[in-house]
Structures are given as C-alpha cells and as structure tokens.
Amino acid sequence: MKIASALVLLTLLTTSLSKGLDDWSQTEILRAQVHPKVRIIGGQEVEPHSVPYQVGLIINNYQYFCGEALISQNYVITAAHCGIVMRTVDVVLGAHNITNAEEATQITISGEKVILHQDYNDTSYLNDIALIKLSQEVSYSDYIQPIKLPSASDEVYDYQVAIATGWGLAKDVPFPSIRDMSQVLLGVEVAVTNMTDCSGYYNDEEYTWVTSGNICTSGYRNKGTCGGDSGGPLALGGVLIGLTSFGTDLCELCSPSVYTKIDYYLDWIAANSDVTL
C-alpha cells in the first residue's frame, strides 16, 4: 500500500510510548509524540527565525503535534487531518527550538475555534485543510510574521523549487522515539512535479488520492516530506503554495510528497477567516 494513514501511525506511536510518561518532562513528551510520518527528509536546519510564519501545534495537551502557517493576526492554517483530532490546541509561534519553551522569541496562544473544510475526507485526505482561530490577536515581530497567500487560483508551479519546513524525524527508523526527533526547525528545497506524474503514482481503482486540489514535489534525491510535516508550509518566493498532507509508508523512497494546494482554496479561506484576498 502506498499511502500511510497519518492518524493510525500517530496513534501507534503514542501507544508505544505510553509507559513511563510520568517520568518524562513535557518537552520529552512533545518530542516523542510527533507523528512518525511527519518529517523533513534530505534537508537541514534553517537559519534561526528565518521562517517567521512557521507555527507548531500542541494538540490535546501533547497527545499530537503538527505544523502550520500564520496567515493573519487571528488565524493559522493547517491540515484537516490535524484539526480533526483536536479537543484542545496550543499554537506556538516564534519558535526555532520547539522543545525549548524558554526560548525568548516563543509565545503560545490557545486556539479558540477549529474550522475543518466541510468536504474533508479522512480516508483519501481530499480537502485536507483547516483553519484555527486564535483566542487572542498575535502581535507581529521580527520572529512572528504572516505568510502571503497566492493572488490567483489555478497557478501552475511545475518544476519550480519551493521550500518545505518543519520539525520531526529526518530519516526512517523502525520505532521512532524522542532521540530521533529534531529539536530545531528543518527545511528542504524541493522541486514541484508534474501533476500527471504524481496522480499516476498514487491514484488507483479504489481511491483518487491526488486531484486538482493538490500539489506535489518530486522526491528526487530523497528530498521531501512524508504524510506531511502534518499541516506545515510549502512556500515559493515567500508565498504559501501548499500544506503538507501525505506520502508513502516509507519516507526515504524518493517518492512524491503531496500537499493541499492553497490557491485552490482561496475562496474557502476568505469565507472562513479575516484574510482579505
């Protein structure tokens, strides 16, 4: 099977680490319970605070962790497969070392409302997009800035080089643990691939995984994401073009990474947030 179920894999990792949690710090729990398929492959540490729109989500008091992007003083955007499990969510902004809550640039704001796309399919990941309304307005700084959204729909990005960022594993390991996670923000340059090739790789008789609402990167030279950096940003020239969504069971297969295509959802974003397009 080519597709990895984000939530099943996350549940398995949480279960496998459930013993002895009382002996761990919250920092260790956060690092341990990042989705095992949420990773940057073939990248490196970014210059600290050079990606000021990058946000981390602590879900259900450290039960899950996802990435996302800041799009206004009141809203962040992420994947619906992250939003669907949320009972509570803390939004961490201005972070480079996500495990260091004492990092001077970090602030944490609780999420007030989670808005899932009404047509999200948690089997095929179609319409894998969600918004989170913050409980208070965030103040911008050198370390916290919103990312621009595309100006028009139906943009074609084929063969352009974008950057995916996030925290998480940097390689496949049999049983991910806290020592395998990245404390610091990682980034990787990835080439946007032709959608015909990407849909041919994933789509089958049972499911249509890749549609016009997606964008893919090639995985060439073993670079990309797997299953997302769940909800984390794919940016091109300072513009948010995708949210990482899913990939193959193993990340180091040089297979395409699949993202939610932002310009496909501009009307939905405008209708459900305070962003003016």
pLDDT, residue 81, reads 93
| Active site residues per annotation | 81, 128, 230
Q: Which of 117, 154, 134, 138 is nearest to 271 (CA)?
A: 117
- Cβ neighbours of residue 128 closer than 8 Å, sequence gap 6 or more: 79, 80, 81, 117, 120, 243, 245, 246, 260
pLDDT, residue 1, reads 37
**Cβ neighbours, 10 Å, residue 47:** 9
Kindly list the structural domains of the chain, giving each domain's residue range(s) and its CATH number in brackets, ordered by start: 6-37+52-146+266-272 (2.40.10.10), 161-263 (2.40.10.10)
- Amino acid at site 118: Q
What is the mean pLDDT for each group of 10 consecutive residues in the chain (277 residues)?
A: 39 33 37 38 82 94 87 97 95 93 95 97 94 98 97 85 82 55 83 89 85 85 54 95 79 74 97 94
- Amino acid at site 179: R
Residue 108 · residue 192 · CB < 8 Å: no
Q: What is the distance of C-alpha 141 from the center of its chain?
A: 22
Place of tokens 């700084």: 141
Phi/psi region, residue 98 (left: phi>0; alpha: psi -120 to 50; beta: rest), is: alpha
Q: Which helix (H) or strand (E) holds 197?
A: helix 195-202
pLDDT, residue 221, reads 56
How far is it, in rounded angstroms, from Cα 257 to Cα 265? 19
How many helices (H) and strands (E) the chain has is answered by: 5, 15
